[in-house]
Structure 1
Amino acid sequence: MEMEMEMVYRTYKHLLFTVAYRMLGSVSEAEDMVQDLFATLQTLDTDNITNHKAYLVKMITNRCLNDLKSARKKREVYVGAWLPEPLLMSNHADPMGQVVQDETISYAFLVLLQELSSVERAVFVLREVLGYEYNEVAEMLNKTEINCRKIYSRAKVKINQDNERSLGKLGDSQPLVQKFLSAVQTGNFQDFVSLLTEDAVLVSDGGGKRRTAIHTILGKQRIQALFEGIAGKGSLQGQWLPFLINGQAGLVLVKDHKADMVICFEMEKHQPQANHIYQMMNPDKLQHISSVLSQIS
């Protein structure tokens, strides 16, 4: 029994982390939930389970739905914008093993998922990301197939209605990383913002624990002024390291051997420009990255 459970764990832990991370937007919570699920599984009679994959995906999905009910109340009193926890993708230390680097784990995609209700998110992830048939999704969520089709259709509309931001081919954000690194050294962000769209948006998450822009910064000129202002105050000093953040080139600012800030981008479809910059400064959401850095330093 112990050997069988170990095999089940090795086989499905990556898949379960994939579901939980996309549902919760948190690396640490997704890891904890997967570990807790298998701890619970060892106390259950699993001899009659004929499809471990479907059983486990149903378990993790419903646990996520229950968790999101309480998370919704926390986000109502959250200071400033709430952003998902960035996932630093390293060959040295991937959470729950190597995660497939595709559009559906990109940071921009995770941000879009936050616009969905918890049930819409569950249906969308199971159907769009994991490719389950509607009858399988319905069984996992204890809903009718017709209801799941309606929920999925509604979720697709929400995902695509914002200037048709959707699951497109990931743009190359490497030029932005290089321009930003040069800007930090010179204090002049003109060349960097030239790679932003005119109506680019910067969203910062400090969680009320770090001083950051509480409101969204609109427009490339305002973004330039913001970065030049905080650079002048020394807030961008430290060691900047380029990393794959959710499958795309991004940046981690390291201070005192810990992650102090993460910056990643959403690229304009078929254009070498970014329309969104995401700035993570909440220390609670940087713990995973600090842990990875300590393992590869």
Structure 2
Amino acid sequence: MNRTEEFQELRPLLFSIAYRLLSSVSEAEDAVQETWLRWNASPGRPASAKAFLSAVVTRISIDVLRSARVRREEYVGPWFPEPLLADPYQDPERSAELADSLSMAALLLLERLSPLERAVFVLREVFGFGFPDVASAVGRSEAACRQLVVRARRHMDAGRPRFEADRREREALAGRFFDALKEGDVDGLRELLAADVHMAGDGGGKTPQLATRILGAENVARVLSVLVPPFVRIGGVVEPREVNGQPGAVIRDRDGKVLNALALDILDGRIQTIRTVINPEKLRHMGPVADVWAVVREADQAAP
């Protein structure tokens, strides 16, 4: 196998590592591209292409993450990861675990870690790298990496998201939710929401925005029942999809342009959290983006 073939075979894994470190599709793709350039320019052949390339993409991602943290502190409104519709790296034996580590809840929890803690945790706890490879990737001793993992695991375990174990049950509940959503069925929506459900939207100050957070089943059900049906009447589409490994949907205008991505956290047979990403800069990797302001104006005119 030549160098190009080796890289292409490992590319899905490299992207998956970078995305979990950066929570950004575009930045993860850039990190993988930079890894390719360094791989192409490196002399000789390492004993393990996987270890070498994983170390390179991790170091690049750590550097990006350090600068990104400042930008996120200045972000307008709630900050959520860029939605990911499918993880290109799939290990059938660990698919559920990998999906949970991809969820928005898990990625937001990773934001609490330092860049080094985050890198060590992702490499060791998510992808199962040995400590020698982890230490090489982050430029620390194995003993230091073990300490970093312990600290990171403590932070993650304190707030680790839990989801329904049965994927089919989650998908069935999500299907009922989206049917009720399109029909504006307040009672149907309320029945599927946890009493203390909360909904939040990431618009980055660039779009019409819901309240920073809407709390409680009654409030969330009524807001959704008012907002969505007029949008459907003007040709909008609610397209159920898996978003970041969890039930969700892509919201499109009548021309198929992306308006919004929505992810659900489901536990104990109820929807606990609804996160929506409407910032157009975080949706461009999914295709052409809709003019949100124009859609809102038209939907307002279609409202009863």
Alignment TM-score, normalising by the size of structure 1:
0.85
User: Which residue is equivalent to 1:29?
Assistant: 27
* SS of match in other structure, 1:131: coil
User: Which residue is equivalent to 2:55?
Assistant: 58
**Contact 1:103/1:169 (CA < 8 Å) preserved in 2?**
no
* Larger RCO (alpha carbons 8 Å, 6+ apart): 1
**Larger helix percent:** 2
Displacement of 1:51 in angstroms is: 1.8
Residues 157 and 222 of structure 1: CA distance in aligned 2, closer, same or farther (over 3 Å): farther
Structure-2 separation of matches of 1:67 and 1:20: 10
Letter in 2 for 1:206: G
Structure-2 separation of matches of 1:29 and 1:235: 33
**Which piece of structure 1 moves more, 151-160 or 10-19?**
151-160
Structure-1 separation of matches of 2:22 and 2:224: 30
Structure-2 separation of matches of 1:107 and 1:9: 28
The one-character-per-residue Cα deviations of 1:116-173 (angstroms, maximum 9, x if unpaired) are 22211101101111112223312221112222222212212221223x5358746543
The root-mean-square deviation of aligned C-alpha atoms, in Å, is: 2.5
Displacement of 1:201 in angstroms is: 1.9
User: Which residue is equivalent to 2:12?
Assistant: 14
**Contact 2:262/2:276 (CA < 8 Å) preserved in 1?**
yes
**Contact 1:84/1:111 (CA < 8 Å) preserved in 2?**
yes
The number of residue pairs the alignment matches comes to 280
Percent of residue pairs identical: 33
Q: Kindly report which structure 2 residues correspond to 1:224-239, keeping only aligned pairs within 5 A, or say none.
A: 224-231=221-228, 234=231, 238-239=236-237
Query: Gaps spanning 5+ residues in structure 1: where?
Result: 293-297
* SS of match in other structure, 1:194: helix
Structure-1 separation of matches of 2:77 and 2:145: 33
Structure-1 separation of matches of 2:232 and 2:101: 32
Structure-1 separation of matches of 2:272 and 2:158: 15
Alignment TM-score, normalising by the size of structure 2:
0.83
Segments of 4+ moved more than 6 angstroms: none
Structure-2 separation of matches of 1:14 and 1:223: 37
**Contact 1:80/1:206 (CA < 8 Å) preserved in 2?**
yes
Structure-2 separation of matches of 1:181 and 1:158: 34
Letter in 1 for 2:260: M
The one-character-per-residue Cα deviations of 1:185-232 (angstroms, maximum 9, x if unpaired) are 332232123222222221211111112235232222222232234337
**Which piece of structure 1 moves more, 31-40 or 69-78?**
31-40
Query: Gaps spanning 5+ residues in structure 2: where?
Result: 290-304
Structure-1 separation of matches of 2:82 and 2:90: 15
